[in-house]
Chains A and B, each alone.
Chain A
Amino acid sequence: MRSDRDGLSAIVQVVARWTLVMIVVYGLAVACFGHLTPGGGFAGGVALACGFVLATLAFGGGSGPAAALHRRVAALEASGALAFLGLAALGWTAGHFLQAWTPRGAAFTLVSAPFLVLINLAILLKVGAGLFAGFMVLVLFDRGLAPTGGGEGET
């Protein structure tokens, strides 16, 4: 079996590079326009996590477009959750918790409901990083590294 650090063949990597762009754009679009079209932060976040998983599988754990994310997923997920909570808390300026406090633009445009867009983006960050973190944890366990700190003595 191939080692995780090697990644897959050059063909897979080139195709992955192309599709990765489309997957990330799709995830962002589904989240950004979730208040106008079907979709939302959760679906967009899962699509984004799919893209990161693709990058990790194609390029291996140590390199590739998602490598910089590997050690920051926990921080990213936490910041997404804190952004959600902060946006909800800012509702107190307009009345009460989770109140839509932003001004509203013309109907059927991106700015028609900025509060929904911001919440969707916070959920996108949280779900995208969170599901990718779950995948990373599964891969770490699959590699046979014990939660008890073993693994150094191996190989």
Chain B
Amino acid sequence: MDAILIGLAAFLVLGSVAALEMKHLLSAVITVGIVGMGLSILFLLLGAPDIAITQVVVEVIVVTVMIRATTRTADEEPGPPRSLATVVAGVGAVLVLVGVGVAAFAALPRFGAARPMPSDWYLAQASTATGGANVVTAILLDFRGYDTLGEATVILVAIAGALLVARHVRGDGEAGGGRRPPPPAAKPPASGSEAAGA
């Protein structure tokens, strides 16, 4: 089991590096999708089917949106190749990070062995106190309801902000067929007569 997990984790690391190094933007997006699917398998093997399901569906929609967003710019030329000093510095930084990470994880208790004090109470009480047989949902929506409320607020505010920025185009969104490179989103709105047409 440990060998499978380590192999899968190594595959994810290699896939992430490959996604960064891809010359073609669309290939990089597809590689990111493969990494995400591998991550969901990892969650499933670790006994977290809730997270695995969420990871799969989020990965599907993210890859779809990224492909939709990158098809126009897929043929963009990558930047100039890196210099030797940059590569050496990058490899050095990775080695330092790996060393620190190994030392840090060695100091931690074994995976799954340490549980904060409320955890045992949650596990014992979740089904009887809330009625939900799925302990994860029972904790998320009942015991830790405020966390879920905060998470919901984050999504609401993010989407509301995006809709607000897009407000000027929503009015004539179906009629317009203009094809020009997307302008910087931070451009100040209502610059004279242009904004009057909406």
| Chain A interfacial positions (CB closer than 8 Å to B) | 1, 3, 5, 30, 34-40, 42-43, 46-47, 49-50, 53, 57, 61-62, 71, 74, 77-78, 81, 84, 88, 98, 100, 104-105, 107-108, 112-113, 115-116, 119-120, 123, 126-127, 130-131, 133-155
Contacts and interface: CB of A to CB of B under 8 A. Distances in A.
Contacts of A149: 168-169, 189-190, 194-198
Contacts of A152: 172, 175-176, 178, 197-198
Contact of B178 (A46, A61, A126, A154): A154
Contacts of B138: 35, 113, 116
A144 B165 contact: no
A62 B137 contact: no
16 contacts: A30-B53, A35-B141, A39-B54, A43-B50, A57-B68, A100-B142, A120-B137, A126-B152, A138-B68, A140-B173, A141-B185, A147-B165, A147-B169, A148-B189, A152-B172, A155-B176
A134 B159 contact: yes
Prevailing SS type, chain B contact patch: helix
Given A42-B54, A148-B190, A107 B131 contact: yes
B178 A150 contact: yes
Contacts of A107: 127, 131, 133
B192 to A, nearest CB: 9
A142 B166 CA distance: 11
B145 interface: yes
Contacts, number: 221
A126 B156 contact: yes
Given A37-B134, A50-B57, A130-B156, A147 B185 contact: yes
Nearest to B140: A40
Nearest to A88: B149
Nearest to A52: B61
Contacts of B49: 38
A46 B65 CA distance: 13
Given A40-B141, A43-B53, A137-B166, 7 more contacts: A35-B131, A36-B134, A107-B133, A134-B158, A149-B194, A151-B176, A152-B178
A130 B155 contact: yes
A113 B65 contact: no
A122 B54 CA distance: 17
B180 interface: yes
A35 B169 contact: no
B48 to A, nearest CB: 9
Given A140-B170, A148-B190, A50 B176 contact: no
Interface string B112-145: 0000000000000001001111101110111001
A143 to B, nearest CB: 7
